[in-house]
Structures are given as structure tokens and as C-alpha cells.
Structure 1
Amino acid sequence: MATAGGPTVRRRQLGSELRRLREHAGMRIEDVATHLECSMSKISRVETGQAPIKARDVRDLLQWYGVSDPVRIETVMQIHKDAQQQGWWTHYAEVLPSGMATYAGLEADARVLRSYEPTFVHGLLQTEEYARAVIAAVRPNEPQEVDQLVRFRKERQALLTRDPDPLELWVVIEESALRRPVGGREVMVAQLEHLIEATRLPNVTIQVMPTSKGAHAALAGTFSLLEFEPRTPTVVYVNSIAGNVYLEKERDVRTFIQTFDLVRAAAPDPHDTSVTLERIAREMHAS
């Protein structure tokens, strides 16, 4: 059983282990819900790492599932203890959209992040001014929260320069997103220049999908693939106005991996990106 990672990954590991032990013991989710006197949805969320569980309930379940090995019990309880730690993102819990705290935890624990962005520049690559314009546009009725959300986004960006193991980021961005003057032309030109600088980072790869390319495999919308240390399953994150979806089933993950591979194969070579960004910036500045 893997034990590496921060609190979000640890919570997922705990849930996965509890699910494995339940299934090995021949128990159903409804059996566990009855035993702990809670809802089946609560057990489901615990087993998928989306909800906390008390230490005494973990010990109770281990005993109920027939786990008697003291080393195994101690390992599981240590994972539970580590999962209770508070990540830096919890300071923004009151203003974050539903599910964003979970995503921030996964992103912080990830080793590799691959993303397709049809509408905006990826959050880890946004300038402060661009981020402010985007957040203010999508949350027009909550101006008092914009500053906090901009700070939250800036803190996330530290992942790209963390020492000694920066996040490896590969993003495919639609050209149309880069031509939309979010915040005005000056803000957008500065954002394009920031992207040019980002292409020089050894752990960042950016591709621009030309509008002239037409239809391609990812037209259904934005998604991200988060990869962790070995033995920790990859997670697919799909974000939409309707809500956030996390996919972990092997079949779903494999589909999105194949989709991303098709998209990056269809986009121009990453070595051409800086030239493309410079051209768009010149055209926007001149218009």
C-alpha cells in the first residue's frame, strides 16, 4: 500500500484501502453505513477520498473487516493521521468554488499535470491581471472575494518553481483563447509575453492549437490529467459550469490519456510555440 503524498493523496489512499478491505470482507456499502449509523453516500465519499472519517471509526472498521495484523493497522492509522493535515489551500475554503479545494490538494501532490484548455490560459500560467479579469468576469456578484481568489491562484503557481521537484506541466491551449482580449489588449499582450517566458522553463511545455485545425479529439471541453508517484492512480479532472467531476476508473483515465495524446499530436510542435505567441502578441498590439 502506497503511503507517499500530501493530505489529499493520503485521504484517497485511505479510502481506497478501506474499500479494498470492505470488498475482501464481503461487505456492501449499505452494510458499512448501517454499522457506522451514517448514510451510504457518506461511505461512498470516504472510500473515494472526498470525505473525512474519524479515527475511532477507522479502527472500528478495521476490526469489523477482520484486520488483526498490528503492522497493517498501524499503517492505516498513520495514513489517517497524515490525511488530517491542513493544506495551505484550506485558508481559502470560504471563497473557493465547490470542489476546488480538492483539486488544489491533488494539484499540489501531483508530479505531472497535463491539460487541454479551450477557453482560458491555464491557471498556473496566468498573470495576476489576467487572473483578476477572469475571476471578476465569472463571479460578477462577489467582488469582495476576487482578491482572495487571485492570491489563491498565485500561490498555486509556486508549484512550477518549487524546489527540488517542480510540477511538470504540459498544456495545449486553443489559439482562440489567446486571441480573446481578457482584461483588455494590454493585459492580454502581457499575458502572452508571460507565456513566452514560461516556455523557457524546463518543466513547462505549451502547445497552441490553431483555429484553422478544425475539429479534433478534445472539442468536448477542458480537462486535466493529474499523475502522482508510482502506485497512486492518475486522476482526471473535468471542470464545467455544472460542476467538477473526478474520474479514477482505469477505463475513463485511459480514454482521457488517449484523447490528450491525440490532441498534442494534432497541435504544432512545442518548439514553434514561442514564435506563435510572439505573432499573436504583435497582431493584438497593432490592432
Structure 2
Amino acid sequence: MADLSSPIASFIVAEIRRARGSAGMTQEAFGRAAGYAASHVSSVENGTRALTIDFIRGADRGLNNGGLFERMIEELGRPSWFLPWLDAERTATQLRCFQPSLIPGLLQTQDYARAVIRCDDRLSDDEVDRRLAERMSRQEVLTKKDPPHFIAVIAESVIRRAGEDFRDIMAAQIKYLISLAERPNISIHILPDEISMHVGLTGPFSLARTGHQWLAEMENQLGGTVVDQDDDVDTLLSRWETVRNEALPRRQSIELMKEVVDSWT
């Protein structure tokens, strides 16, 4: 599943099913209390429909358990603040991302992603592997049937950040970006270093459109924030347009990435 690693999602679903049974609730009765049709409940319990944060919160309401399952997710899987974003990311028709410091997660190679995750020296090897698997799983959204249109703006300094011990990983990452940029649903634009001052310097952000609604996400050193207030989302959409307009066109961006790789050989 895109929002939780499969073992954790399966565990949470099994616990929801167990709690429903202990409460003597049929799928229909549970669905009414949680705000879902019985067929939806059945699909989640059978593993044919993704477990989402909305369903988990509905289960907590339906079982009147004080938010037990949402707390379990926060302890066992993704932090709860991130789950609404993952739901939006998985169902979006359009995705936008501005990154001034790293390659966006949806575009990272496995080696690059592992290096980024390992920057947190508090993580055990098992936790690094778990987070890496989750990040790679998220990327499936770009290759599924009817994928979203994804546009990324990446600062030029990001693709030039490669010390001697990191150059091979970075070269492979840029080649991967070039191959992704050839896909019809993916556009990658480089923001030149010569644009020294721009509104994006305040930090990275992502946008997802599901239906007629936009949702935004901003990460920071302590976690992140999902933004759903209309005024705040409108501000980020405006800032997106600003940084997008400062970036190079698609073809020029690809040529610049090729030049960077060629300069290392």
C-alpha cells in the first residue's frame, strides 16, 4: 500500500476487524458508524482497497476508542501528519513539487534515497530499510495506469552537489532524472543558480490536485505540515507559479543535466 508498508497496514486492518467483531458489529453497522458503505469496509478488510487515514479515523469514530488506531499508525508507520498527504498523492491527477535542497522523493533512485535517509544517524539499519521500501513504493504512483501529471522544479545546486564519494550515486541519479523527464506525464525543470533571489528560498513544498481541490505539504527538520486551508493553498500555488516561471524550459533543463554529468567524466 502506498501510505503504509504492507505488514503494518495488514496489522492495522486485522486489528480493526478484530475490534469490530468484539463490538458485535457487522460490516454494515460498522460502516454506518464510520461513515462508509459496507462494500467499502469489506474491500479494506479483504485487502483490495487501500487503507487510508480517513478510513482509520472513521474506524476510531465508529468504535469510539479515543483515536487508538491513528495513534498506532503514528507509532508503527508513517507519522500521522503525513498520511493525508499520501492519500492525496496516491489519488492526485496533478502533482507539483519545488525542491531547493534535494531530489524530490518521487524521483529518487534507490541509492540516492538510501543516502538521504541515512543522514539521520538515529535510525537503525532496519528502520532505514523500512523507510527506503516505503519511499520506493510511493514512486509507483508515477507509473500506474492513468498516472498524475507531475511537474518538479529543482534548484541547480541540487544536481551539482556531488563530492568525490558521492559522485557515482549523483551521476546515476541525474541520468535517472533525464530518463524520467522523457515520459509524457513527467516534467523536470531546473532553477538556475544565477537566479540568486526568489520566493522559493523559504523552503520546499509540494501540491496535489484531487478532483477540483488542491492540497499542499511542507516538510521541515521536525516533521512537516499538510496545508488544506484555501488561503494558504492559494499562497503556495502562487509561489509555485513564480518559481516555475523562473526555471528553465523542459528541454533546456534536460540539456543542463546532461552537461553536469558530462563534466564529471
Aligned to 1:19: none
**1:145 equivalent in alignment to 2:127:** yes
- Counting aligned pairs with the same residue, the percent is 27
Aligned to 1:263: 243
Q: Is the 8 A contact 1:95 1:148 kept in 2?
A: no
Unaligned runs of 5+ in 2: 4-29, 54-72
Q: TM-score, normalised by structure 2?
A: 0.72
> Partners in 2 of 1:89 and 1:144 — Cα distance?
24
**Structure 1 position 77, deviation (Å):** 4.0
Aligned to 1:173: 154
Q: Which amino acid aligns with 1:272?
A: Q
- Equivalent of 1:242 in 198, 222, 241: 222
Q: Which amino acid aligns with 1:260?
A: W
> Partners in 1 of 2:175 and 2:253 — Cα distance?
12
Q: Which amino acid aligns with 2:203?
A: G
Q: Which amino acid aligns with 1:224?
A: S
Aligned pairs for 1:60-99 within 5 A: 77-78=36-37, 81=40, 85=44, 87=50, 94-99=76-81
Q: Is the 8 A contact 2:31 2:37 kept in 1?
A: no
- Equivalent of 1:188 in 170, 194, 197: 170
Aligned to 2:206: 224
Aligned to 2:254: 274
Q: Is the 8 A contact 2:82 2:225 kept in 1?
A: no
Aligned pairs for 1:27-38 within 5 A: none
Decide which structure has the larger Cα Rg and report it.
Answer: 1
Q: Is the 8 A contact 1:116 1:171 kept in 2?
A: yes
Aligned to 1:161: 143
Q: What is the SS of the residue equivalent to 1:137?
A: coil
Q: Which amino acid aligns with 2:158?
A: A
**Structure 1 position 184, deviation (Å):** 0.9
**Structure 1 position 174, deviation (Å):** 0.7
Aligned pairs for 1:91-130 within 5 A: 94-130=76-112
Q: Which amino acid aligns with 2:162?
A: P
**Structure 1 position 243, deviation (Å):** 2.5
> Partners in 1 of 2:52 and 2:193 — Cα distance?
35
Evaluate the alpha carbon distance shift between residue 79 and residue 134 of structure 1 in structure 2; reply closer, same or farther with a 3 A threshold. farther
* Residue-pair matches, total: 214
Unaligned runs of 5+ in 1: 1-5, 8-53, 59-75
Q: TM-score, normalised by structure 1?
A: 0.67
